[in-house]
Structure 1
Amino acid sequence: MTGKVRTRIAPSPTGFLHLGTARTALYSWAYARHHGGEFVLRIEDTDVARSTQDSTDQILASMHWLGLDYDEGPIYQMQRLARYQEVIAQMLAAGTAYRCYCTPAELEEVREAQRARGEKTLYDGRWRPAAGKVLPPVPEGVPPVVRFCNPMSGDVTWDDLVKGEITINNREIDDLIILRPDGVPTYNFAVVVDDWDMAISHVFRGDEHINNTPWQINIFNALGAPLPRFGHVPVILGDDGQKLSKRRGAVSVTAYEENGYLPEAMLNYLARLGWSHGDEELFTREQMVSWFDGSHLSKSPAQWDAAKLAWVNAQYIKAKPDDALAPLVAVQLQKRGIVADERLPAICALFKDRCDTTVVLAHWAAAFYADVTPGEADRVQHVTEAIRPVVLALADKLSDATWDKPSIGAAIKEVLVAHGIKMPTLAMPVRVLTMGTAQTPSLDAVLALFTRETAVARLRAA
């Protein structure tokens, strides 16, 4: 095709937007942006029984969180029924489609006979018109479906953007149902009409759709519509080696938002699940757009690696400005009933190098706003009878000190000298009492972020 690049993502609102679809959306979006084209969001909601508004809302929220902005949409298929029926009427008139009155029981009989003969189960064409053929009488009370007159010979070949040349013989597929008795189109027909009407030039999708592509190409040709370029990306495998899907092992995109991942980290990680640019592991959205020209897409399935995603997220948390990170941590604190204050950016600055999600960072931050309960083992090990007088002496010293890091550091040194002990002997119990854990960043930096009242009260609880 020539002309403007137009890509699309077309999720079905029968469940949440999962990671595989999010990755396909990213590739489609990046390809359009790289070529100065347009990206369309379409909601394929013709599965009326299983489509829900909650699923639609989650899809839209996921796209917004990931920052995959679209130029058109959301476009809903159920609002386009009149258009599909218009095209069906044209195909019936042109002889490229026909009505079929087979009942489900009759079709099952055909399939059983084919299986008994060791044949592939295909529709036998009994209602397909042909020169000199006498069709069965139209049965009363049986609403027909409409089937596509698929070519009965020849091959369907396309140059896949990912897989290379793919060829499937037309004898491997049959006359597809394109309109159900209730007037709702099937997927393989509606997607063709949509891509045609919306001038979609490139289609990226999962390679489970390869078997649908010959039908769709044949329908495009029957309609005289220009073909888009297809790129079928391999599946993402879970820890068990099986495909991630809505029904197996997949987690919604919004769940990762709730669990403290950053959208820029998720996009970075998803991009690398099946695409690469040299040895680059970390890159910005802008860099991906400049690099993503449709090449370097892997032909092999990608393995989901939760540890690698956590590492990527940790890098983005470290790099994120504290003022931008603090509102995300505040949201996590609000879930715990904690309202943060102006100290939160500085708290984030001190602890973010230790965190791979904003949930973990919120756990550290919570100690500055809510009561902490040291573990019994830590208290027994570190807050001993011998050290209590020293801790109380520090509390007294801090109650009068200027409340900043240098002054707090000076007060700690004075207490250490006065009692003839080294820093670790005092630091561990102070950390346990104030933060609830023996492992924290520099003690003076930690104490400076508390209010004086809270820090002194926790030390005096020794």
Structure 2
Amino acid sequence: MTVTVRFAPSPTGRIHIGNARTALFNWLFAQKHKGRFIQRFDDTDTARSKQEYADSILYDLHWLGIFPDATDYQSRRIQIYDDAVERLKKAGVLYPCYETPEELDLRRKIRRTRGLPPVYGREALTLTAKEIQDLEADGRRPHWRFLLPNFKSDPQEPERTDIHWNDLVRGEETVDLASVSDPVLVREDGTYLYTLPSVVDDIEMGISHVIRGDDHVTNTGVQIALFKALGADVPAFGHHNLLTTTTGEGLSKRTGSLSIEGLRSDGIEPMAVASLAVLIGTSENVQPMATMAELAGHFNPAATSKSAAKFDPEELVVLNRALMHSLSFADARDRLAILGISGDKAEPFWNAVRGNLDRLSDAVSWWRIVHEGPLEKPEFEPEELQFVREAFDLLPDEPWTATVWKDWTNKVKEASGRKGKALFLPLRLALTGLVSGPELADLLPLLGREGTLARRP
């Protein structure tokens, strides 16, 4: 059997880091088992689904390093779902219901007052042909529910019916089918809700493992019953914990919370996003992985906690910083060139500044400092100004070697008697306009003697 997984978002917005977690769990699982990854768009909600969102999702996945083996859209597969509906109707497990939302809400309230679970009571199964005729004459159109196999002979007498599965993430799981309502599979207007197309597609596409968020655990019991009703083998299931903010708030495509597009625009590296999205909420330490292959080596679905994974977006900056510090010039060259950083000085410049960057784009300001001087002219007290000017008079002659900073500051120290911060800080301010930054021993050869003298205040 070829391991086959899928990522199946609705294209109703841009995906966020929580969605990326699901995509990455599936991608890494497929990679570890030499399997296939199918990108499926659950776009049966035609009112909110847009092609521009589907395109942006594919772009985000490619940016993260996920490249689907196939891509499909549910909106193009309606006939397959129609055929499945007819099979379920013939089997007697899909039945029409005519209640309005208000009527259903009232029935749930009545059941609660009687100490019963607020599930659908299957009243539609008791309708006579005359009652159905009258309802339809009154303009009612049926929605269709799947009759769950939670009874022995009489659907009106459901009893505890446990569905068990060994979850890839959570271990042994059980859902009692008597605790949930018969799900609506087809709306009054003939369109499909999530459950039917999802199961039919999983069957048709040969999905062997369904890995998704743990908000779908209860759905799984229903879906296993539907797989069996359609005569199909049941895939393995895995439900990972969800990501929330530090305050416990969930993420939403509709609000754009921590969207992949936004993180990319903010200069966060794809492997920073992937490392956090996969490792947080697991027994693994959250650390930056340089490649997807390295991340796969640390990926273990069973090591994921059952509780929600709270994270601070600042953790992404920490991971990003670590990736910058270890990023080689060979890997950064093309991206630096796009930012205007190229030429003979590009590599020594990158090696000098990368340890001070949070984002690759931060290198631009340092490139300007090296070539044009401080972004803002530093101001000095009179005593400091005199010290700096005298220090510049002691600059060594060319050629400048890797020891020029040490040679210069030793001469300044001897002449002024200054040392430590009193010696170095005024020189750093004059050279860069900032109180911190890359090692001046690395920057000074890039400035050259002429460039350095140009910064004498």
TM-score by length of 2: 0.85
Counterparts in 2 of 1:64 and 1:87: CA distance versus 1, 3 Å: same
Match of 2:132 in 1: 136
Contact 2:276/2:286, CA 8 A, preserved across alignment: no
Q: How does 1:131-210 map to 2 (within 5 A)?
A: 136-137=132-133, 138-140=135-137, 141-153=139-151, 154-210=161-217
Counterparts in 2 of 1:65 and 1:369: CA distance versus 1, 3 Å: farther
Contact 1:126/1:135, CA 8 A, preserved across alignment: no
Gaps of 5+ in 1: none
Q: 1:97 aligns with which of 94, 101, 117?
A: 94
Contact 2:167/2:237, CA 8 A, preserved across alignment: yes
Q: 1:442 aligns with which of 411, 417, 439?
A: 439
Q: 2:221 aligns with which of 209, 214, 226?
A: 214
Contact 2:353/2:366, CA 8 A, preserved across alignment: yes
How much does 1:20 deviate? Answer: 1.7
Could you tell me how far apart the structure 1 residues matched to 2:386 and 2:361 are? 36
Q: Structure 1 residue 364 and structure 2 residue 366: aligned? A: yes
Could you tell me how far apart the structure 1 residues matched to 2:425 and 2:316 are? 32
Q: How does 1:255-404 map to 2 (within 5 A)?
A: 255-276=262-283, 281=287, 283=289, 284-290=291-297, 292=299, 294-329=301-336, 334=339, 339-342=340-343, 343-369=345-371, 372-374=374-376, 379-380=379-380, 384-391=384-391, 393=393, 401-402=398-399
Could you tell me how far apart the structure 2 residues matched to 1:79 and 1:368 are? 56
The residue type equivalent to 1:234 in the other structure is: N
Could you tell me how far apart the structure 2 residues matched to 1:171 and 1:411 are? 82
Contact 2:27/2:66, CA 8 A, preserved across alignment: yes
Q: Mean alpha-carbon deviation: is it higher for 280-289 or for 174-183?
A: 280-289
Match of 1:250 in 2: 257
Counterparts in 2 of 1:167 and 1:360: CA distance versus 1, 3 Å: same
Counterparts in 2 of 1:452 and 1:115: CA distance versus 1, 3 Å: farther
Could you tell me how far apart the structure 2 residues matched to 1:309 and 1:382 are? 43
Q: Structure 1 residue 33 and structure 2 residue 43: aligned? A: no
Could you tell me how far apart the structure 1 residues matched to 2:370 and 2:165 are? 61
Counterparts in 2 of 1:441 and 1:282: CA distance versus 1, 3 Å: closer
The residue type equivalent to 1:136 in the other structure is: I
What is the DSSP-based 3-state SS (H/G/I as helix, E as strand, rest coil) of the residue aligned with 1:90? helix
Deviations 1:142-168 (A, max 9, x none): 333222122243222222222222222
Deviations 1:66-116 (A, max 9, x none): 10222111x111111121112112222222212333333433443444355
Deviations 1:176-220 (A, max 9, x none): 111123332110111101111111111111111112112211111
Contact 1:179/1:185, CA 8 A, preserved across alignment: yes
Could you tell me how far apart the structure 1 residues matched to 2:263 and 2:242 are? 20
Could you tell me how far apart the structure 1 residues matched to 2:136 and 2:315 are? 60
What is the DSSP-based 3-state SS (H/G/I as helix, E as strand, rest coil) of the residue aligned with 1:86? helix
Contact 2:405/2:440, CA 8 A, preserved across alignment: no
Contact 1:317/1:356, CA 8 A, preserved across alignment: yes
Deviations 1:394-420 (A, max 9, x none): 5xx57x734654557656655665666
Contact 1:162/1:231, CA 8 A, preserved across alignment: yes
Counterparts in 2 of 1:369 and 1:45: CA distance versus 1, 3 Å: farther
Q: Structure 1 residue 125 and structure 2 residue 122: aligned? A: yes
Count of equivalent residues: 444
Match of 2:82 in 1: 85
TM-score by length of 1: 0.84
- Aligned identity (percent) is 32
What is the DSSP-based 3-state SS (H/G/I as helix, E as strand, rest coil) of the residue aligned with 1:166? strand
Contact 1:10/1:43, CA 8 A, preserved across alignment: yes
Deviations 1:405-438 (A, max 9, x none): 4557656655665666658555433321331112
Could you tell me how far apart the structure 1 residues matched to 2:399 and 2:125 are? 91
Match of 2:158 in 1: none
Counterparts in 2 of 1:426 and 1:293: CA distance versus 1, 3 Å: closer
Match of 1:24 in 2: 22
Q: Mean alpha-carbon deviation: is it higher for 53-62 or for 226-235?
A: 53-62
Contact 2:94/2:146, CA 8 A, preserved across alignment: yes
Could you tell me how far apart the structure 1 residues matched to 2:67 and 2:93 are? 38
Counterparts in 2 of 1:329 and 1:241: CA distance versus 1, 3 Å: farther
How much does 1:57 deviate? Answer: 2.7
Could you tell me how far apart the structure 1 residues matched to 2:383 and 2:144 are? 79
Contact 1:33/1:289, CA 8 A, preserved across alignment: yes
Could you tell me how far apart the structure 1 residues matched to 2:182 and 2:419 are? 84
Counterparts in 2 of 1:255 and 1:330: CA distance versus 1, 3 Å: farther
Deviations 1:330-376 (A, max 9, x none): 65xx5xxxx33323332221122233332444443442356634476
Match of 1:11 in 2: 9
What is the DSSP-based 3-state SS (H/G/I as helix, E as strand, rest coil) of the residue aligned with 1:146? strand
